[in-house]
């Protein structure tokens, strides 16, 4: 029995270290939710007072150091070609992101179904709604019928088993939050209003990494980092100090694109100017819509 207790306390000490390491990594990658922070504080304040020197990044806007900017990495149209490469990059960089999923893509192939499970089971990833049909890529027709648009998002929500109603419109940079109302192509406004009325928080993007003609990432990570800096410098983001970044899983099929996105994230992290969050932490997104 002595051995057993000895083993147990050793194991407990090991688990304590594991909890510390993982709590610290949560703090450093800044993907923390409120409960993660509480858990971290509990561990640091009661069990391991010596680690109180670890800098704490709090998630409330007011308490983020004022020199930090917040980036929301978002990836559209998954599960798709490139999804597994995306996950490798995010895992390697230990950075959180949001996947705006297309419902029907989960039924495209066995691999896409499996990739949906990989996305769902990865704690770095948050899932959000990018419609069921992706408008069949016929956007003008799609947005003519507001009720059908809402229905399409409802079908995606149910089939993907999404818990909240954060949505992004296919082919349109539309925003419908309590404090942001933006429609890039006005003929889509009624459908966007319908989504808001149905309780969807519609979120667009501030910066897109667009594709080349070969559907790979266009341009270099250095150029994208300049764009990030420029948006903040010129105050072009929808919410001050918060930038929603968009690209697509399917641009991550070649080695160059994979490397460019990886370098982009690495350099943003190493600059120490930014923190990364999931889209459900965007300011005011959890307010009940009025």
Residues that bind Zn ion (CB under 5 A): 76-77, 170
Other residues' Cβ atoms within 10 Å of the Cβ of residue 215 = 15
Among residues 76 and 237, whose Cβ is nearest to Zn ion? 76
Among residues 173 and 257, whose Cβ is nearest to Zn ion? 173
Omega of the bond leading into 79 within 30 degrees of 0 (cis) = yes
Q: How far is the CB of 170 from Zn ion (least distance, A)?
A: 5
Q: How far is the CB of 155 from Zn ion (least distance, A)?
A: 16
Contact yes or no for 202/196 (Cβ under 8 A): yes
Among residues 93 and 115, whose Cβ is nearest to Zn ion? 115
Q: How far is the CB of 160 from Zn ion (least distance, A)?
A: 14
Among residues 32 and 133, whose Cβ is nearest to Zn ion? 133
CA of residue 51 relative to chain centroid, distance: 29
Please state, in angstroms and rounded to a whole number, the distance separating the CA atoms of residues 207 and 210.
9
Among residues 237 and 249, whose Cβ is nearest to Zn ion? 249
Among residues 101 and 228, whose Cβ is nearest to Zn ion? 101
Contact yes or no for 200/141 (Cβ under 8 A): no
Please state, in angstroms and rounded to a whole number, the distance separating the CA atoms of residues 86 and 264.
13
Other residues' Cβ atoms within 10 Å of the Cβ of residue 157 = 20
Please state, in angstroms and rounded to a whole number, the distance separating the CA atoms of residues 258 and 249.
10
Least Cα distance to 85 among 265, 279, 254, 263 occurs for 254
Contacts of 183 (CB under 8 A, 6+ apart): 172, 174, 175, 189, 192
Q: How far is the CB of 131 from Zn ion (least distance, A)?
A: 8
Q: How far is the CB of 231 from Zn ion (least distance, A)?
A: 21
Q: How far is the CB of 133 from Zn ion (least distance, A)?
A: 11
């Amino acid at each position: 029995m002595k051995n057993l207790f000895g083993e147990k306390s050793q194991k407990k000490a090991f688990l304590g270290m594991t909890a510390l390491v993982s709590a610290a990594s949560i703090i450093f990658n800044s993907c923390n939710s409120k409960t993660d922070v509480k858990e971290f504080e509990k561990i640091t304040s009661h069990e391991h007072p010596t680690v109180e020197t670890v800098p704490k990044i709090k998630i409330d806007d007011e308490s983020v150091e004022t020199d930090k900017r917040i980036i929301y990495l978002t990836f559209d149209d998954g599960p798709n070609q490139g999804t597994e490469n995306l996950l490798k990059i995010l895992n390697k960089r230990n950075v959180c992101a949001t996947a705006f999923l297309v419902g029907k893509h989960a039924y495209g192939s066995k691999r896409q179904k499996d990739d949906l499970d990989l996305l769902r089971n990865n704690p770095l990833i948050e899932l959000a709604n990018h419609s069921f049909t992706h408008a069949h890529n016929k956007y003008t027709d799609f947005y003519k019928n507001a009720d059908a648009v809402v229905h399409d998002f409802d079908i995606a929500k149910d089939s993907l088993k999404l818990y909240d109603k954060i949505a992004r419109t296919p082919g349109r940079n539309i925003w419908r939050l309590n404090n942001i109302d933006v429609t890039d192509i006005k003929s889509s406004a009624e459908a966007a209003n319908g989504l808001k009325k149905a309780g969807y928080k519609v979120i667009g993007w501030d910066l897109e990494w667009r594709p080349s003609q070969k559907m790979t990432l266009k341009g270099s990570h250095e150029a994208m980092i300049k764009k990030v800096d420029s948006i903040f410098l010129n105050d072009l983001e929808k919410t001050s100090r918060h930038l929603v970044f968009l690209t697509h899983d399917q641009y991550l099929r070649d080695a160059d694109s994979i490397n460019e996105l990886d370098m982009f994230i690495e350099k943003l992290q190493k600059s120490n100017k930014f923190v990364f969050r999931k889209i459900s932490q965007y300011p005011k997104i959890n307010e009940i819509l009025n």
